[in-house]
Homo-oligomer: A and B are copies of this chain.
């Protein structure tokens, strides 16, 4: 085995070594050789040489010629959050199983960055783009459309192409009901004791709030507007909202519906400044699941969005030739307090 060759082997190298033409080598190595009526023996020889010289196709050349790169993009708001990183993990498995290469990037929930990032991915001729949690899905759509790039929305719906989202209304209902039922019948919750914090002017927040209000009116017979505090998705703004509330009221609400784990982090920041006892009587529901959050010192009810099903559906829809711009809703799951779910990590073999 003579190593040390600086440059990678190409079909031209193998062509010389095998005595066949580059096109023959190409056909053998990309699987189209039967169609081209290449002799089995020729193919075998070339495969052997390819093995010996560790040939791997140059994807840029392939992509240039075929205008398909084998790259599949996932556009996320951010990486460092269990929801989105689980999304990345599951996405990667899907893409790799199709023999393609995942490329996951984040665009900070900024409409312009979303469009520019999409454009960058397009310049690499990615084959498909999954747009997850975009602030402006239709803006990204335009960029993709113009480049003839197939794309789909996840988590937040757009209007031009199919979307696969969590059933936020139903999830909001489930979570609200679970929060209310967490209180014993002899100390029931009053309507003004259940607050929702977080979220902003996006579809997911709207639907969750709609579910929240519906159940609240049903079960608690009341729903004061003051109980909805949309703080955006910034942890710090969320913290400020809690500080303001606490300042005003001298206490926290008995029950809390937190719009996302990112808002929950804002709550943590508030917690850091206040003693344990402040929280001892409260119940929190959070739309998103995080294993550590599930074990906090007060009951935390969580909603786990069914990432696997959402992505499975998205990949399925992606396979259709010209899918209608339908919104597919996937029912999320209610997770009771103190629950440690298995995740993608569990698929790993662990040696040593």
Q: Which residues of B contact A79 (CB under 8 A)?
A: 79, 85-86, 88-89, 92, 104, 344
Give Cα distance in the complex from A332 to B269, angstroms.
21
Q: Is the CB of B350 within 8 A of A232?
A: yes
A287 within 8 Å of B (CB atoms): no
Per-residue interface assignment for chain A, residues 318 to 352, with 1 indicating a CB less than 8 Å from any chain B CB and 0 otherwise = 00000000000000000000111011111111111
Q: Is the CB of B296 within 8 A of A348?
A: no
Copies in the complex: 2
Q: Which residues of B contact A295 (CB under 8 A)?
A: 268, 271, 296-297
Q: Is the CB of B345 within 8 A of A56?
A: no
A101 within 8 Å of B (CB atoms): yes
A61 within 8 Å of B (CB atoms): yes
Name the interface size band of chain A: 35 or more
Q: Whose C-beta in chain B lies nearest to the C-beta of A61?
A: B64
A312 within 8 Å of B (CB atoms): no
A293 within 8 Å of B (CB atoms): yes
Per-residue interface assignment for chain A, residues 269 to 301, with 1 indicating a CB less than 8 Å from any chain B CB and 0 otherwise = 101100000000000000000111111110000
Q: Whose C-beta in chain B lies nearest to the C-beta of A337?
A: B272
**29 interchain pairs (CB within 8 A)?**
A6-B148, A7-B148, A56-B123, A58-B123, A60-B61, A60-B69, A60-B125, A64-B64, A78-B89, A80-B86, A80-B89, A92-B105, A108-B349, A110-B349, A135-B351, A232-B350, A232-B351, A233-B350, A234-B346, A234-B350, A235-B340, A235-B346, A236-B342, A236-B346, A264-B292, A268-B292, A272-B340, A295-B296, A297-B297
